[in-house]
C-alpha cells in the first residue's frame, strides 16, 4: 500500500517536473475590421429661446446646445437608446401615458464638420469616423489574438 502511494507520488512529481523544462514563445496578431463606417449627426438649437440677455450670448448658448444635441445623436447611433414607457388604465380608459428615453455613452474622436445658423436656429454637423475610433481603441487597449505558439 505504501509502495503504491510512493510510486504514485513520484510519478506525479516526475510528470510535473518535465512540464517546467519547456518554455514557449507566443506571437500575437492584431485584429482589424474589413471596413469602417462613418457616422454623421446634426444637432439643432433655437437661438431666440436661449436664456441670455444679449443676442451674442444667445448665439453662443445655441452653438453649445446644438453641439451637445449632435453628440447625443451620435451616442444614440453608437450605443442605442433606452426607452421606458408606461400606461395607467382605469375602467378601460387610459389615464396616464408616459414615455421616457435615455442615452448614455462616451464618444471619442468625433469631428465638427460644420456649424452654422439657419434663420433663428443654430446647427452643428458632426462626423465620427470609426477608423479613427478603432485607432484610438487600439492605442489604448491593444486587443490581440494568438497567432502562433512555439514550444522549445
Q: Residues 7-31: pLDDT tens digits? A: 556 565 555 545 556 677 777 776 7
Name the pairing type of β-strands 24-29 and 145-151. antiparallel
pLDDT of residue 1: 60
Structural domain includes residue 16: no
Residue 10 lies in a domain: no
Each residue's pLDDT tens digit, 113-148: 999 999 999 999 999 999 988 888 777 776 677 777
Domain assignment of residue 130, yes or no: yes
Q: How far is CA 19 from the centre of its chain?
A: 42
Residue 56 lies in a domain: yes
Task: Give percent of the chain with pLDDT exceeding 90.
Answer: 55
Q: What are the beta bridge partners of residue 40?
A: 127
Secondary structure element (H or E) that encloses residue 14, with its range: helix 2-19
Give the domain range for residue 135. Answer: 24-151
Q: Identify whether 69 is part of a domain.
A: yes
Q: For residue 108, is it within any domain? A: yes
Higher pLDDT, 148 or 91: 91
Q: Is residue 74 part of a domain?
A: yes
Counted domains in the chain:
1
Asked if residue 115 belongs to a domain, the reply is yes
| Residues 67 and 111: beta-carbon distance below 8 Å | no
pTM, 2 dp: 0.66
Tell me what pLDDT residue 9 has: 60
| DSSP-assigned states of every residue in 18-59 | HHTT--EEEEEE----S---EEEEEEEEESTTSS-SSHHHHH
pLDDT of 6 > 60? The answer is no
Amino acid at each position: 500500500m505504501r509502495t503504491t502511494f510512493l510510486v504514485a507520488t513520484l510519478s506525479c512529481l516526475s510528470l510535473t517536473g518535465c512540464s517546467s523544462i519547456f518554455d514557449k514563445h507566443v506571437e500575437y496578431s492584431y485584429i482589424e475590421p474589413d471596413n469602417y463606417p462613418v457616422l454623421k449627426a446634426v444637432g439643432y438649437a433655437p437661438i431666440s429661446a436661449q436664456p441670455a440677455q444679449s443676442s451674442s450670448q444667445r448665439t453662443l448658448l445655441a452653438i453649445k446646445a446644438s453641439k451637445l444635441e449632435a453628440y447625443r445623436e451620435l451616442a444614440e447611433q453608437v450605443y442605442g437608446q433606452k426607452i421606458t414607457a408606461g400606461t395607467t388604465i382605469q375602467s378601460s380608459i387610459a389615464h396616464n401615458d408616459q414615455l421616457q428615453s435615455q442615452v448614455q455613452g462616451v464618444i471619442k474622436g468625433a469631428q465638427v464638420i460644420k456649424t452654422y445658423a439657419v434663420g433663428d436656429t443654430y446647427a452643428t454637423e458632426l462626423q465620427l469616423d470609426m477608423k479613427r475610433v478603432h485607432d484610438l481603441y487600439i492605442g489604448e487597449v491593444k486587443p490581440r489574438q494568438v497567432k502562433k505558439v512555439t514550444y522549445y
